[in-house]
A and B are shown apart, each in its own frame.
Chain A
């Protein structure tokens, strides 16, 4: 029988933010992703900042732990748009990821190259973006992906069936109470109506203790020590099989700053966890292979890992977001027919889910999180710049040999 284990999964991503791109530039210059006069949306500046605060120190720490803890394993999903920016501005960071993967104990998880919500708009584009990501991972890391995560862990039964048919061994999503009911996220499940694939669900309580609460001085448990968290983790898993800690990679150093002790905390926690002889670590695919499904789970409605609602409302909740996505995906056929690689790439960069996220007008407690992550003055500015970019793409389609119509 397999040991109970920790499934650590970190998501690595940076979008190509649209700069302050105006009506006056639409149809004239096409450099939406370049640094504009508004430094907030400067991709290179932001990328380099996060490299310093998060990617370099965290990759160094992961390497150190892999070297010192023979059982340690971790899974990463790295978006294609992150990889593009790393290639351009921080090749050493890319190399450090390669070093991690080369240990054989770091699994790369499949996803859409452009970190998009294409699954909800266009099956064909969704599949192409998954293919593009698979190719990119193969090229850079020399590995084949066997587990799948959709953008924002957005998941439903239809997605599970698709991933099953494509031969993925595992898929992950949020362990949301409304879906789980009496069930625990600490087991491996079988998505309803699938043959082979297994479903792993995020233990959001334990994950969010690190990702959202660790650095919060107003939290009743602050400051949280690694010892105490290890006790919680051991208790939380209990007789279960897997403790699924899923979070953004940038939790470490960017969302939660170094001065909170987050790096030390992580290192100590991993060491403490490993001390318990009943414990081990699994990658996502390994966990799916190590345990039988304890039950089947049906999720007809889409669940995500965001906000109190755990739905897509942070991305597609208001009419601006819906309009922006509608106009973008309406261009799909014309853009692809153009065979203009720059145009296609720019259009695909606009499919990244961060764009509609910046347009969110949810001003509840969740809205604060949105504001923190937005480089724009307001969701309305985000919308205007984005729509100008979409129109410019349409303008370029017009100019291309396979001419469309405005």
Chain B
């Protein structure tokens, strides 16, 4: 399996999905060699063998090349990339490929190569070339998703994705939205693409008593009858947060007993701070910065409503996490996870009026709020990682050398 990050060194959902997926696949009896671009301890990964392609620390990874940062890619042709230049994503990717080449000489030929996103697609293609093993490309996000509303993204990354999708024997997409992008924007035949939804591992979230202490001020607002709305997200254009602020602002003009918690960090933070001041709602918007552990968990716990405002969200695991923590969900129709849930409210990311209506509706109707919270709980837990693993095993088996698809 070719990945780019795993918890606790993840900068987002890709690492979390890879962790749970590989764990569940191992439980199905597979042996997994997992390649990472950096070196670090990963507690709880004894079920597989982790290989580090470089000696870089994960801190380096966050600083120089966040797993999602594709806009700085300037060179397509890896022959022109200096393999010793680990300051650039391309340098690290070239080193990653060389590592995979060497690894394949010392481990048994794999039955399947499972590559996650554009980051590892080239390594996947090279591995396929060397071993003739089937290449399964797993798409968690495309460059179109990462670009948000700001154009279509980096053409070099598009090209890499296109090649990877073309060369793949089988493509796994995390939602129909993503499958549709693969089919329509990259011209891949629909029957080559299979939808495999992500899941949530409730047991890994642990059992914690919520003590109402982490966000004391927000709890005080709640006691005053405020409705707490939250988004747990990277603060980046893909996430549609400017539209969220605008919708929230409209909602506040109808019902001012609302507060918005934005848990996370990202390059859009300053813009969002300024926008909330321009909208005159900065007193009601709370920026936490990046949160982990209890602060992360309690961001859900303190919330009545969770909004996923993404312009383009292939899946959106945080919505399931939020549902698990007893919140009502409002998701954009552009979020893949919305395909798997019924007891939610939906809006188009640009439709701030509709969002405002939904926010005010939940804030002013305890019955609506309560039924959304209760009903979604019956739905989210149906998505399990063992189902994902069985789907993957099924694909591996069908793709095995000699097997007929």
Q: A: which residues have CB within 8 A of B?
A: 22-24, 26-28, 318-320, 322-324, 327, 361, 378, 380, 383-384, 387, 390-392, 395, 398, 405-406
Contact = CB atoms under 8 A, between A and B. Distances in A.
Interface stretch (B38-46, B195-203, B281-289, B331-339): B281-289
Contacts of A24: 214-215, 288, 295
B221 interface: yes
B357 to A, nearest CB: 25
Contacts of B286: 23
Interface in B276-299: 277-278, 280, 282-283, 286-289, 295
A395 B217 contact: yes
B217 A380 contact: no
The 3 A-B pairs of least Cβ separation, nearest first, read A27-B216, A319-B277, A27-B217
Given A23-B286, A24-B214, A320 B273 contact: yes
Contacts of A387: 282-283
Contacts of A318: 274, 277
Interface of B: 213-221, 224, 226, 269-270, 273-274, 277-278, 280, 282-283, 286-289, 295
A384 B287 contact: yes
Contacts of B282: 319-320, 323-324, 383, 387
A323 B282 CA distance: 7
Given A320-B274, A323-B277, A383-B277, A23 B283 contact: no
Given A380-B274, A383-B273, A391-B283, A22 B220 contact: no
B233 to A, nearest CB: 16
A185 B351 CA distance: 58
Contacts of B217: 23, 26-27, 391-392, 395
A206 to B, nearest CB: 38
A99 B213 CA distance: 51
A361 B271 CA distance: 12
A324 B287 CA distance: 15
B278 A23 contact: no
Given A323-B277, A383-B282, A406-B220, 12 more contacts: A23-B218, A23-B286, A26-B216, A27-B220, A28-B213, A318-B274, A320-B274, A323-B280, A383-B273, A387-B282, A395-B220, A405-B224
A27 B224 CA distance: 14
B288 A28 contact: no
A356 B387 CA distance: 54
A384 B273 contact: yes
- In this complex, the member of B218, B226, B282 whose beta carbon has the largest number of chain A beta carbons within 10 angstroms is B282
A251 to B, nearest CB: 32
A379 to B, nearest CB: 8
Q: Mostly helix, strand, loop or mixed at chain A's interface?
A: helix
A378 B224 contact: no
Nearest to B299: A23
Contact of A28 (B216, B277, B278, B287): B216
A23 B270 contact: no
A24 B219 CA distance: 11
- In this complex, the member of B220, B277, B278 whose beta carbon has the largest number of chain A beta carbons within 10 angstroms is B277
A22 B288 contact: yes
28 contacts: A22-B288, A23-B218, A23-B286, A23-B287, A23-B288, A24-B288, A27-B219, A27-B220, A319-B277, A319-B278, A320-B273, A320-B277, A320-B282, A323-B283, A327-B283, A361-B274, A380-B269, A380-B270, A383-B273, A383-B277, A384-B273, A387-B283, A391-B283, A395-B216, A395-B220, A398-B220, A406-B220, A406-B226
Contacts of B283: 323, 327, 387, 390-391
- In this complex, the member of B217, B218, B224, B282 whose beta carbon has the largest number of chain A beta carbons within 10 angstroms is B217
A23 B215 contact: yes
B288 A380 contact: no
Nearest to A322: B277
A361 to B, nearest CB: 8
Nearest to B221: A406
Contacts of B288: 22-24
Nearest to B224: A406
A362 to B, nearest CB: 13
A405 B287 CA distance: 22
Nearest to B285: A387
A322 to B, nearest CB: 8
Contacts of B220: 27, 395, 398, 406
Nearest to A319: B277
Contacts of A26: 216-217
A380 B280 CA distance: 15
A26 B219 CA distance: 11
A279 to B, nearest CB: 50
A351 to B, nearest CB: 17
Nearest to A383: B273
Nearest to B272: A380
Contacts of B273: 320, 380, 383-384
Contacts of B218: 23
Contacts of B216: 26-28, 395
- In this complex, the member of A322, A327, A378, A383 whose beta carbon has the largest number of chain B beta carbons within 10 angstroms is A383
A391 B284 CA distance: 10
A367 to B, nearest CB: 14
Nearest to B213: A28
Nearest to B263: A23
A323 B285 CA distance: 12
Nearest to A321: B277
A388 to B, nearest CB: 8
B370 to A, nearest CB: 23
A7 B283 CA distance: 44
B259 to A, nearest CB: 10
